[in-house]
Amino acid sequence: MNTGKRMLAVGTAFVAAVLSLFVWRDPQDAPRPHAAEAQAVFAVNGVPALAARRYNEAVYATTHNAMSSHGAGFILPNQISGLRRQLEDGVRAVMLDVHEFQGRAMLCHTYCELGGFSLVDGLVEIREFLDSHPNEVVTIILESYVSPETLATAFADSGILRYAHAQTPGAPWPLLGDMVSNNRRLVVFTDRRTGGVPWLHNVWQFAWDTHWNVTSLDEFNCDCSRGDASAGLMILNHFISNPFPTPMNAERANAESILLDRALACWRASGRLPNFITVDYYEIGGVLSVVDRLNGMAAAPESGIKEDGPSAALS
């Protein structure tokens, strides 16, 4: 190659390299570490060890009737803060009731006149959290009084389906690190029919729960209320309704010692990790601390509690 051609080739390569610096790339397309590298590279849900664990091997702070909050203007709410603040604070699973009201799919609790907002708006709040927190895995558990087709339309309209994971019944759950790497960081359950929608999972096919209608502390137990206790995921309902949720009831139920003791007792009794620690007024008491401690335990309690140490707070 003569000198002129060589200089032209070098110049062309230099210009291409400079121009590449100004080409916009969607951050969604950025390469993500695989689960084999995950534990050393990033934390999932604020806990480094979770990247190498499967979805069903982690514990998630869960809000009962998450849409029903003082912040959203509900009468007799179950929570103080709205959906986005719940997620920012460390909640990683939300229970949502969906009703049809005035021709729209609404998030409300039995009577939409006492408070409510559209399902699409609620899903947009969750989607925006996932947009801005790329290492977080979130679960939605629906009590649905609308058709699966209505749910599918709302989820599509919200833009959240880009994150939805589809789980095959009977197959192992993916590693949380792989869910982050593949950007499939949303799991959706419903207690009604799924209509063949692949990302909409019947909750009682995958999970079981403890009793949900408890009026005092001494009524808490570890018995299976709904679903099959052989299912892989446990929903530990831990809230008092007497007859309504109140901060006073939450102060008793959510005390860290009470909640941790019950979670460990149900882990021992069932041999299943209590995956979804479900509370009213998560802001009161120690649910986030209890979830952090449970996620730090490397062995089942009957084998001796062994902790990796507290996780770092989500920045």
Encode pLDDT of 30-47 as tens digits.
445 454 444 445 899 999
Task: State the Cα–Cα distance between residues 285 and 264, nearest whole angstrom.
Answer: 17
Answer whether residue 123 shows pLDDT above 80. yes
235 vs 313, residue with greater confidence = 235
- pLDDT in the model for residue 99: 98
pLDDT > 90 fraction of the chain, expressed in percent and rounded: 78
Average pLDDT over residues 265-291: 97
- pLDDT in the model for residue 242: 84
State the residue for tokens 């789980």.
Answer: 167
Looking at this protein, which amino acid is placed at residue 135? N
Cβ pair 93, 125 in contact under 8 A: no
Answer whether residue 295 shows pLDDT above 90. yes
- Exposed / middle / buried, residue 21 (Cβ in 10 Å: 0-12, 13-18, 19+): exposed
- pLDDT in the model for residue 32: 52
Phi, psi of 153 (to 5 degrees): -65, -45
Return the sign of the alpha-carbon dihedral for residues 91, 42, 155, 117: positive
Answer whether residue 195 shows pLDDT above 80. yes
- Residue 312 is given by DSSP the state P
- pLDDT in the model for residue 55: 97
Q: Domain 30-303 belongs to what topology? A: TIM Barrel (3.20.20)
Rg of the chain's alpha carbons, rounded to an integer?
22
Residue 302's pLDDT band, with cuts at 50, 70 and 90, is low
230 vs 91, residue with greater confidence = 91
Average pLDDT over residues 262-285: 97
Q: What's the predicted TM-score (pTM) here?
A: 0.84
Looking at this protein, which amino acid is placed at residue 260? L
State the residue for tokens 């062309």.
Answer: 12
